[in-house]
Amino acid sequence: MSKRILILDDNQDILDIVHETLSYEKFDVKSTSSGEEVMDMVEDFSPDLVILDFRVAGINGGELCKQIKCHPEYKDVPVIIFSAYINHDDELFGYGCDAVINKPFDLTELVEKVNSLIL
């Protein structure tokens, strides 16, 4: 059974590219551009890894990461935060994420980071 990945990004182009890339790598991928949908999707989809854009409308990716990490059933699910705000890695790790990927990013870097966290 393939590993499940949930992606949040409010930039549709980035969402499409990441979704397509990870699907090509044989992951079962679900994606959304709405931060408000993430926790429901985590509960319904039960992902093996979550990728969150830090800056999205409404709740930010860091706060969502905290919610996932505080949830007894999903606290061990690895979370990657995407951020276009370079040099804020320490702040982002403060939310409890397992990795940070700075935008713009290389798709090879993304796939390697994902593989290192869930395979």
Residue 34: predicted pLDDT: 95
Average pLDDT, the chain: 94
State pTM to two decimals: 0.95
Residue 70's CB: how many other CB atoms inside 10 A?
Answer: 10
The segments of the chain whose pLDDT lies below 70 read: 86-87
Residue 82: predicted pLDDT: 92
Residue 101: predicted pLDDT: 93
Q: Domain spanning 4-113 has what CATH number? A: 3.40.50.2300
- Distance of alpha carbon 52 from alpha carbon 66, whole angstroms: 11
Residue 77's CB: how many other CB atoms inside 10 A?
Answer: 20
Residue 31: predicted pLDDT: 97
Q: How much of the chain, in percent, has pLDDT values that exceed 70?
A: 98
Q: Are strands 79-83 and 49-53 parallel, antiparallel or unpaired?
A: parallel
